[in-house]
Structure formats: structure tokens, C-alpha cells
Amino acid sequence: MFRTQRKWLSAAALTAVIALAVTGCSGASDGGSADTDEPILIGGAMSLTGDFQITGTGARAAAEYAVQEINEAGGLLGRQVELDIRDDQSKPDQAAVAFQDLADDVDVFIGPSGSNSAVAVLDFVERQQIPMVASAATSEQVDPVHDWIYQAPTSGSDVGTQMGDYVVDEGYSSVFGIVNKEEAGLTEGWDAMKSGLEESDVAVAGVAEVSTTTTDYSAAIAQAQSSGAEIVAVMVAGPPALAFATQYASSGNAAPVIMTNAVASDYFVKGGGEDVNGTLVAAALPVVTDSLADSGQKTAMAEMIEGFTQETGAAPDAFAYHAYTAMQVIFAAIEKAGSTDHQAVRDALSTLEVDTVIGPIEYSDTNHGGPGAEYIAITKIADGEMIGEPWSVTNLDALFK
């Protein structure tokens, strides 16, 4: 659904507007946040080491940047914000341990950066009745709806849907899938893409299942080549994605490759060098900022990118955008609640409408998910840059007119 005349805001501007909106309200809730100057604590776990380290380092940096922004703008409810991010070592059980350690002190959780770790903490968060805003993208967090869990990024299934729509609209007649079946977000992305392709009478020529530890993709690449598929969809992340790209580039297979947003980072795009040139990559909206027509959304995205890059020395990646968005949502919910009381924040989240750097979020009792599939960009890598595909840029520009 296209949107019109929205006012897109940077984090600092967003905070100011929300603060004005709650001025004069009682802030009435059992938390009594206005009666204390103790810092607001946001806690969580990110994959800072291990197989999915690439997801956590950018996510933590973005969360820290968002906290710095909000504190420099005066904080929330007259209080400063503190962040406590633990390393889950890319292990779901360690994410659960971190959440248990934080539960007695945290006001709000930011969800883990990896989808498997995110799924591992769901039951605990629900039992503890502490609101969590997820920074990972997996439908298991929001389908079925959980009372205390809200997702900031677009779900993996919606990413897969957008990838499928691109393939269909660009006229491809057959697709081969290479899928890491050990990672929830990647699997659901492929499942959604496959479903959409089949509904549109695009042939799925075959699927090769790989794992998080796969380093030799020769068999999967050979299957893709022998299938005769016109395009290869690859749901792989982290170092294995680079291994795949290097091996595919030397395989002689001429079919183009389309990959999930899990590789939308400098690690892959720049680190892959010539081997990744021409690769199609799904990406969060801000990745194509420079490709879009002027709009309030483009200005807000550009401000975030510039500020983050100046502060950290590196451009944000997909995981940074997701974590930054999760923090925007948390800040907006606390301001709306006028409190850090868990129930008050959850109630605020349940009807929250906020424009973020990756698109609009509108929660309800039946929808705890992030922006829809239409806010995912399809890009093509060219010399270390992700350039918005014309199909994608045209559709995205229409959202902000």
C-alpha cells in the first residue's frame, strides 16, 4: 500500500516530536518514571563473536549510536539511557543466558541480532513479561503474535516475497535455490520466495541445502548449473556467503545470482571484490538512499548514515539499520508510555505508529511486524557499491510521493 504526505524524521527530531506529544500528559503508569533520575536500561544480546559475528558488530554499533543521539537530545522522560549488550557468541543458548542475567534490571529488551538466537529467547521474554523489540528478522517472532514481542525489521518471509516479486516481474522463468536450512530467517525467506514463484508459475528447478559450516559449494553450484535455471537464489550469510561467491564466480555458470539481505554489508559487497560484481542483493531501504528521488524519507536516511559513519568510521550495514530501527521504536514507545513500566511500554507498543529509517511501522493487537515487503530494495553490486535496480527504485519512489 503506497503512502502519501508522511513526515520522516531523524532520531533526534523524532524524540522532540514525541516529547511534545506527551507534554501535559500524566505519564500515568505504575512505573513512576518521572519520579526518578535513574538511567533507563535497555539490554540484549548480539552475536559479537562466532559464526554470525557479522550480524552483531554492526547491530551493537548502531544501538550505541542511537543511545548517544537520544542522550545528546536530552534523553527520555528526563532520564539518560544506558545500553547493556552481551555477547551470545552466535549460540542461541548463550542468548538465553544473557537475557536471564539481565531480566531483573532491564526496562526493555532489544532482541538478538541473529534469528536463531532471537527465536531462543521468545518463551523467556513472554514468561517474564518484559517488552522486547527485535532487531533480527524472522517471522517466528511475530507469527503467531506474541504479547510482549515486537519486530523492527521486515521479516525474512517478506524479504523472500520481495525477491520473488522481482524475479517474476523481471521475466525469469526458472529459479534454483541454495539455502542454509540451519538459520531460521534464511529458511523462511526461501519458503516465502518459493511459494510466490510457484503461484506465479515460475518453475523452481531444484534446491540444494547447505549449512552454516559449509565451505565447499561446488556440488550445489553444479546442481544449479545442470538444472538450467535462469537465476539462482542464495539464502546464505556471513563468511559462507563469500565462499559461495568466490566459487560461483569461477564456476562458469552464467545465470545471475540473487541473495538475501543478510549479505547487505561491506563485508560481502566490498570484501567480495570482483567476484560479487553483478550479484543482486535484497537490502534495507537506506542502502539505496542515493538512488531515490528527494523526499523526507531520503533526508532522514541520509542524516542517519552520515552521523553513524562519522561516529563509527564505517557505513551502516543491514544489521545496523535493523538495530537502529529497533532503538527508534523503543524510544518512541517509552515516550508514548510516559514510563518504563513493562506493561505501560507494552501497551504503548501495541498501538504505536512511527516512521523509521527503514520504513513505517504500525503495530496493532494483530500485527507486531516491521515494514512490509515493499520497503525492501533490490540492488545490484557494482565495484563495491549496491545500486538500486530500476524496478526497485521506481516502486520505492512511488511510496514517498
Whole-number Å distance between alpha carbons of 180 and 241: 10
Whole-number Å distance between alpha carbons of 157 and 193: 7
DSSP track, 253-302: --S-EEE-GGG-SHHHHTTTGGGGTT-EEEEEGGGGGGGSPS-HHHHHHH
What confidence score (pLDDT) does residue 283 get?
A: 94
Confidence of residue 27 (pLDDT cuts 50, 70, 90): very low
Whole-number Å distance between alpha carbons of 144 and 365: 11
Percent of the chain topping pLDDT 90: 80
pLDDT digits (tens, 9 = 90+) for 337-349: 999 999 999 999 9
Whole-number Å distance between alpha carbons of 263 and 197: 22
157-290+376-399, CATH topology level: Rossmann fold (3.40.50)
**Domain boundaries defined on the chain:** 11-155+296-372, 157-290+376-399
11-155+296-372, CATH topology level: Rossmann fold (3.40.50)
Q: Exposed, middle or buried, 148 (CB in 10 Å: 0-12/13-18/19+)?
A: buried
pLDDT digits (tens, 9 = 90+) for 242-280: 999 999 999 999 999 999 998 998 889 999 999 999 999
What confidence score (pLDDT) does residue 35 get?
A: 58
pTM of the full structure? 0.86
pLDDT digits (tens, 9 = 90+) for 130-168: 999 999 988 889 999 999 999 999 998 999 999 999 999
The overall longest dimension of the chain from CA atoms, in Å, is 68
Confidence of residue 17 (pLDDT cuts 50, 70, 90): very low
What confidence score (pLDDT) does residue 54 get?
A: 84
pLDDT digits (tens, 9 = 90+) for 69-122: 999 999 999 999 999 999 999 999 999 999 999 999 999 999 999 888 999 999
CB atoms within 10 A of CB 383: 11
What confidence score (pLDDT) does residue 401 get?
A: 73
Contacts of 25 (CB under 8 A, 6+ apart): 338
Half-sphere exposure of 229 (CA within 13 A, CB side): 28
What confidence score (pLDDT) does residue 51 get?
A: 84
Give yes or no for a contact between 247 and 218, defined as CB atoms under 8 angstroms apart. yes
Confidence of residue 184 (pLDDT cuts 50, 70, 90): confident
* Same fold flag, 11-155+296-372 and 157-290+376-399: yes
CA distances from 54 to 263, 264, 302, 348 (A): 9, 11, 23, 32
Helix (H) or strand (E) holding 319: helix 318-337
Confidence of residue 400 (pLDDT cuts 50, 70, 90): confident
